[in-house]
Amino acid sequence: MQSVCVMGLGYIGLPTGSFLATKGYRVYGVDVRADVVASINEGRLPIVEPDLDILLKSAVNSGNLTAALEPQAADVFILAVPTPFLADGSDTPTPDLSYVEAATGAIAPVLAAGNLVILESTSPVGTTERVADFIGRERPDLLGREGLKVHVAHCPERVLPGRILLELVENDRVVGGVDPESTDRAVEFYREFVRGEVLGTDCRSAELSKLVENAFRDVNIAFANELSMVCESVGINVWDVIRLANRHPRVSVLQPGAGVGGHCIAVDPWFIVSSAPEITPLIRTARSVNDGKSRWVLERILERASRFREPKIACLGLAFKPDIDDLRQSPALEIARGLIAVHGERVMCVEPNLESFDGLPLTPLSDALQQADIVAVLVAHRPFRELDAALLEEKVLIDAAGVFRV
């Protein structure tokens, strides 16, 4: 039985580890959070993802998946840790690779010749080579005349929250090693369980391909978000305009929203900009437009609220996209916090995918709708899409998510 050590049990590592365990791999999951480790070993899901609870219980009950705070020897090591950027206030945020370095340092003592180390975390170009160099420095005994005796490759995750278990298997995968042997070894591993095509390349091309995917979406969402502000300024319904424009056979305008969030699209374009800041004005501008859309929505709500003496505002949704509980880089959360800073306890936050959230009290949807003067739809969660519009007839409605297309 081939063994796999998964470093990081979040939105990528946990589904990956659970899936591999149910396919007969011996999986050792590792996380720095003791509560997450305990929850997983009890078969309890610490995140929201459709059908993952059933898969996790099956993986744990089979005995093939166990979680711990420290790694142990395995055949394959998967690094699935965060790669945020440093909030240093600069025009070009600096990528934060401290989690990747910490995970690499943690596995270094238990590595053996012939092991495969895979970086799945979306990373700036050159990160996979840094992982290999770090291993060589930490374990000089694994350096031979022909190079590192451990295979190192990058295979960026390409899944969508809410569809992770399906896309983990069905999506094509791009795999790039620090050398041809590493590429071949990693391609062989993924072809054992991925039904999509597994495409081999070099590690730098694999790294940049993932960044390009998310920067492409960011640029196109920026166009939709900018268009929504233009339509507002001239009194036109943006949803109607996009629907009509998209009837052209070569036009496919995306949908606007309250901004862009998440662990990929809101972050990855900066990795490209930071590598070539003088020649990436388009990508930088798209980031500015999408961040600015959140501030624009906030200002719009505050302007409506100024018409009331003591307005009660309901914020529908806090996650970065519909029907998940992920708050990373969420524009909705940023907007809600901005409103609370001005109107305090008169702001009610509704997030149906969370039972609680530290520092931000949550209000049941029915209570919020009954009490609110202003309803701001920030995320198109299913419970909001199923609302009877008649319930909002006497409310000031600000629909940034296009739930009611107004």
Contact 252, 217 (CB under 8 A): no
Please write down the long-range contacts of 399-406, taking CB distance under 8 Å and 24 or more positions apart.
400/256, 400/257, 400/258, 400/297, 400/376, 401/257, 401/258, 401/317, 401/322, 401/377, 402/239, 402/255, 402/256, 402/257, 403/377, 404/377, 405/237, 405/239, 405/240, 406/237
Contact 30, 7 (CB under 8 A): yes
DSSP letter (8 states) at residue 93: P
Pick from 184, 166, 164: nearest CA to 175:
184
Q: Which of 5, 155, 203, 264 is catalytic?
A: 264
Residue 210 falls in the annotated catalytic set: yes
Say how many C-beta atoms besides its own lie within 10 A of residue 181's C-beta.
14
Strand 313-316 relative to strand 347-350: parallel, antiparallel, unpaired? Answer: parallel
Distance CA 66, CA 89 (A): 40
Pick from 327, 329, 377, 330: nearest CA to 350:
377
Residue 312 falls in the annotated catalytic set: no
Q: Which of 5, 155, 203, 210 is catalytic?
A: 210
Distance CA 246, CA 362 (A): 38
- Residue numbers annotated as active site: 210, 264
